[in-house]
């Protein structure tokens, strides 16, 4: 996690009192809090906290899945939240990243993981530009269906192309090179109180096949980097250009913002992060097939962004956690997961239409709109 002045709590617009208190903390305390929070996140899979820990499936693996969703949501947030482009085919870039890893490390070449990951990012980015350059000129709703088509084209091409492994997919994707520095013990709660369990340990950065905790650590590290990048880009000229484009494209164009180029940039960056997440997914799974990249996944990704609050990076992280963690946690209701998820989406749409943690600007804009409405139509409006 980066040590900037904004904390998740500080972004929360609904409780200004709490926010002020957090912002007014001395800088040293804030850094300390961040460090503690980061350590907590890194140790989370080993703490085995009751209730939070998933019973049926390996908690390290679940946390890794959550982390990939967070990464995907951060990438898609650039496209949907910042630039306001509705992308229903994000899984296409995810698949491209995963398959680049598969093809270059297992199927047709045996290159090192460290070399292939940047290649995967670049290839996903290029495919984003190839898709975006012609299609970003079409209107918003159409962009949704074009990207949806793109996601399906990617998946069907994977199914039908023997060179890419066909429907069987690619297996034996090698593990990333690791090093064994030290072992981290886990906590055992079976006696009712926390006891340090020295027998069940995770080795720091040994990428094995049984213990998924190191993969989670890797994903967490990458998330920190992407988050830092996200903060820097959003607060730069680029971020402001995106905001202007999203709010009113014609006005932005008149003000001299080359909107098309910025939309393309958002698309390319989003695609690159999607490719990176796909690469991570392929690394941990060790096996990929077209079935892993169903259209439904795109919709889940979009749901993560919108549920959390498109445009707010902390919001989309929360959204990604909600979308990926709860279905895993409540596996015992496996048959009803999708049903409950659907109901939750509908309720959320009605009661929190801006997402769980809406970006501050939206809240401000909404208040301004309400004032405007009252001024124009009097109290009797609506």
Partner 1 sequence: MQNLIDNFFAYTITGLTIGAVYALVALGYTLVYGVLRLINFAHSEVFMYGTFAALWVVMLLGGRPGAGVGQVIFWVAMMFVAAMAMSGFIAVLLERVAYRPLRKRNAPPLIALISAIGASFVLAEIMGLRSRITSWVGLDDNLRDYVRNSRNNAGMPTIIAPQPIFTIGGYHVTNVDVFVIVGAIAIMVLLDQFVKRSRLGRGIRAVAMDPESAALMGVNRDRVIQVTFLVGGVMAGAAAVFYMLKIGITRYDAGFILGVKAFTAAVLGGIGNLRGALLGGFILGLAENYGSAVVGSQWKDVVAFVLLILILLFRPTGLLGESLGKARA
Strands (E) located in 52-194: 183-188
Strands (E) located in 114-239: 183-188, 195-203
Decide whether 116 or 306 has the Cβ nearer to partner 1.
306
Count how many residues are written for the chain. Answer: 382
Rounded to a whole number of angstroms, the minimum distance from the CB of residue 67 to partner 1 is 23
Rounded to a whole number of angstroms, the minimum distance from the CB of residue 50 to partner 1 is 30
Rounded to a whole number of angstroms, the minimum distance from the CB of residue 173 to partner 1 is 25
Rounded to a whole number of angstroms, the minimum distance from the CB of residue 55 to partner 1 is 22
Please identify which residue in the block is written with the tokens 């496209």. 79
Decide whether 13 or 149 has the Cβ nearer to partner 1.
149
Decide whether 33 or 344 has the Cβ nearer to partner 1.
344
Decide whether 171 or 362 has the Cβ nearer to partner 1.
362
Q: Is the CB of residue 273 less than 8 Å from the CB of residue 72?
A: yes
Residues sharing a CB contact under 8 Å with residue 270, sequence separation 6 or more, in sequence order: 75, 76, 78, 79, 87, 90, 93, 128
Rounded to a whole number of angstroms, the minimum distance from the CB of residue 226 to partner 1 is 23
Q: Report the candidate in 110, 116, 78 with the shortest Cα–Cα distance to residue 97.
A: 116
Rounded to a whole number of angstroms, the minimum distance from the CB of residue 243 to partner 1 is 15
Decide whether 199 or 335 has the Cβ nearer to partner 1.
335
Decide whether 82 or 215 has the Cβ nearer to partner 1.
82
Q: How far is CA 179 from the centre of its chain?
A: 27
Decide whether 326 or 336 has the Cβ nearer to partner 1.
336
List residues near partner 1 by CB under 8 A.
Answer: 80, 86, 134-135, 137-139, 141-142, 144-146, 148-150, 152-153, 156-157, 159-160, 295, 299, 302-303, 306-307, 310, 335-336, 338-339, 341-346, 348-350, 353-354
Tell me 175's DSSP state.
P
Q: Is the CB of residue 278 less than 8 Å from the CB of residue 94?
A: yes
Decide whether 75 or 92 has the Cβ nearer to partner 1.
92
Tell me 176's DSSP state.
P
Residue 58 — φ and ψ, nearest 5°?
-60, 125
Torsion from C-alpha of 344, 350, 354, 355, nearest 10 degrees: -10
Q: Is the CB of residue 281 less than 8 Å from the CB of residue 219?
A: no
Tell me 64's DSSP state.
H
CB-based burial, 157-166: b 16+ in 10 Å, e otherwise: ebbeeeebbe
Taking phi first (over 0 means left), then psi (-120 to 50 degrees means alpha), and beta for anything else, what does residue 86 get? beta
Q: How far apart are the first and last CA of the chain?
A: 44
Rounded to a whole number of angstroms, the minimum distance from the CB of residue 213 to partner 1 is 32
Strands 183-188 and 195-203 come out as: antiparallel
Decide whether 51 or 163 has the Cβ nearer to partner 1.
163
Rounded to a whole number of angstroms, the minimum distance from the CB of residue 180 to partner 1 is 44
Rounded to a whole number of angstroms, the minimum distance from the CB of residue 210 to partner 1 is 32
Rounded to a whole number of angstroms, the minimum distance from the CB of residue 149 to partner 1 is 3
Per-position DSSP letters for 223-248, written without gaps between them: HHHHHHHHHHHHTSHHHHHHHHHHH-
């Amino acid at each position: 996690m980066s040590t900037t002045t904004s904390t998740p709590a500080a972004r929360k617009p609904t409780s200004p009192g709490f926010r002020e208190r957090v912002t007014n903390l001395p800088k040293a305390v804030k850094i300390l809090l961040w460090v503690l929070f980061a350590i907590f996140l890194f140790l989370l899979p080993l703490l085995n906290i009751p209730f939070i820990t998933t019973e049926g499936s390996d908690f390290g693996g679940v946390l890794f899945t959550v982390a990939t969703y967070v990464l995907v949501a951060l990438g898609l947030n650039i496209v949907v939240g910042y630039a306001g482009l509705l992308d229903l085919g994000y899984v296409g870039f995810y698949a491209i990243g995963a398959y680049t890893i598969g093809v270059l490390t297992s199927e047709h070449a045996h290159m090192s993981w460290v070399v292939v990951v940047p290649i995967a990012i670049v290839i996903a980015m290029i495919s984003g530009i190839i898709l975006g350059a012609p299609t970003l000129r079409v209107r918003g709703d159409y962009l949704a269906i074009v990207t949806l088509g793109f996601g399906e084209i990617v998946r069907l091409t994977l199914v039908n192309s023997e060179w890419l492994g066909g429907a069987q997919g690619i297996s034996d994707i090698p593990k990333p090179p690791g090093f064994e520095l030290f072992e981290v013990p886990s906590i055992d709660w079976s006696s009712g109180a926390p006891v340090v369990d020295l027998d069940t340990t995770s080795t720091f950065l040994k990428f094995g096949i049984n213990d998924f905790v190191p993969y989670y650590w890797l994903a967490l590290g990458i998330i920190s980097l992407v988050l830092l990048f996200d903060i820097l880009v959003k607060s730069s000229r680029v971020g402001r250009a995106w905001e202007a484009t999203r709010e009113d494209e014609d006005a932005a164009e008149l003000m001299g913002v080359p909107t098309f180029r910025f939309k393309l940039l958002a698309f390319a960056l989003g695609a690159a992060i999607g490719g990176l997440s796909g690469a991570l997914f392929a690394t941990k799974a060790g096996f990929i097939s077209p079935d892993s990249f169903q259209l439904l996944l795109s919709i889940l990704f979009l749901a993560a962004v919108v549920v959390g609050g498109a445009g707010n990076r902390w919001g989309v992280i929360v959204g990604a956690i909600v979308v990926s963690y709860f279905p895993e946690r409540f596996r015992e209701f496996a048959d009803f997961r999708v049903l409950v998820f659907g109901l939750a989406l509908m309720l959320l749409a009605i009661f929190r239409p801006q997402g769980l943690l809406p970006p501050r600007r939206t809240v401000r804009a909404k208040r301004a709109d309400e004032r405007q409405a009252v001024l124009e139509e009097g109290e009797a409006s609506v």
